[in-house]
Structure 1
Amino acid sequence: MTITRITRLPFGSDFRSLFEGSAAESGFLLTVDDRLGIEHLLRYRGTRNSPNPPLLNGLLRHKLRISRGATESASPDLVVAGCHVTYMISGEGARTGVLSMSPMPVPGHILVASLLGATLIGMRKLQKVPLLRDDGQIEVVVVLDVHPSPDHAAA
C-alpha cells in the first residue's frame, strides 16, 4: 500500500475558501443564547433523562464544535430555542412543537435534551439533515417552517 502526501495544493490559499461557502450553506448556526443553553445542559446533566445520555451529550458537543455563530438578530428561518418549528421525519407526516432548553418534558415542546431537538437546533427552513433515532436507525429530518413561539411573540 502506497500513501501519497500532497505537499502543494493546486488552488493555493484559496483552497479553504472553496469549502467555507458550502459549509456555511449546509451547516448549523447557533445564537449565543442557544450555545450557552446547550453548554448549561451539558454542564448540569440536563440530558440525564434522555434514553441515551452519552450519545446525546456527544451529539450536543459535536453541534457546538461544528456550528457557526449566528448574529443576535438571527434570521427568522433559523431554528432557535423558544421558536415554533414544523418538521418532517422521513416516512412520517409533518409535526410541530416549540423547541425548548428545558431538561424536563413539557407537552407540545421538543427538548434540545433529545436527539430530535439536538438535531433541529441551528437548522434553517428547508434544510435536511440525518437524524439519529434512539433505536440506532438513521432517518432524515427537514425543517418545513419556523415561527416565533406565541409566548415569545407576546413579550
Structure 2
Amino acid sequence: MTNAQHVRVPNSFAYDTTPENHLNDAEFFLRPSDRADIEWLLSRDDPAARNMPRLVEQILRYKMRTAGKAIGKGIDQIALPMKRITYSESNGPVRKGILTMSIVERPGRIPVGSQLGATLLGMSRHQEEPLKKEDGRTVIVGVLKIETVEPV
C-alpha cells in the first residue's frame, strides 16, 4: 500500500519549466505593488470608484486573498498592469489592450476596475477563466499573449 496522494495540477503557473519553480500552485499572481494599488482603488472616495460594480470589487478582493506572489522571470507571462494582453472570449475574435490600474474606460486600455480587467488581472498566458458579461451570459476568456509595454 502506498501513501500517494492525488495532486491537482493548477490551471496556471508563473511560467518556468521546472515543477519546483512553480509558485505555490496559485491560480493568480500579483506583485506587492499591485496589491497596494488594488487596495487604493477599492478604498478611493471619488464618485467613479463608488460606482464600481460589486462583482468587480468581489473579483479583486478574491484575487488579493488567493494570489501567489509574482516574482522572478515568470513575471513576464503574468497579466499585470502596464502589460499588453492579447485575449479572446469563447473562441471569439482575438482582441488586445493594455491592462491599467484604473476604473476609467479608454480606447486600447483594459481597466482593472472593469469585469474584463479584474478577470484578466493576475492570469497567466494560456489560462482560461469564466467572465460574466453585462447581459448575464458567461463566456470563457483566455489569455493568448502578454507583452511588456514601455513607459511613455
Q: Considering the TM-score relative to the shorter chain, is it more than 0.5?
A: yes
Letter in 1 for 2:50: R
**Equivalent residue number for residue 50 of structure 2:** 48
**Equivalent residue number for residue 121 of structure 1:** 121
Q: CA deviation at 1:137?
A: 1.6
2:10 paired residue among 6, 18, 22: 22
Aligned residues: 137
Structural mapping, 1:49-128, within 5 Å: 49-50=51-52, 53-71=53-71, 74-128=74-128
TM-superposition CA deviations, 1:11-46 (whole Å, max 9, x none)? 5xx86x935x63755600111121111111111156
Q: Residue 99 of structure 1 aligns to a residue in which SS?
A: strand
Unaligned runs of 5+ in 1: 1-9
Unaligned runs of 5+ in 2: 12-23
Stretches (4+) displaced over 4 A: 23-26
More helix by percentage: 1
More deviation, 24-33/83-92: 24-33
Structure 1 vs Structure 2 CA RMSD:
2.5
The answer to whether the 8 Å contact 2:26/2:67 transfers is no
Letter in 2 for 1:22: P
**Equivalent residue number for residue 150 of structure 1:** 150
Q: Equivalents in 2 of 1:72, 1:32: separation in Å?
A: 13
The answer to whether the 8 Å contact 2:26/2:68 transfers is no
TM-score under structure 1 normalisation? 0.76
Letter in 2 for 1:70: A
Q: CA deviation at 1:103?
A: 2.4
Q: CA deviation at 1:49?
A: 4.3
1:113/1:120 CA distance change after superposition, 3 Å: same
TM-superposition CA deviations, 1:47-103 (whole Å, max 9, x none)? 4344xx222111111111121111165521111101011000014200000000122
TM-score under structure 2 normalisation? 0.77
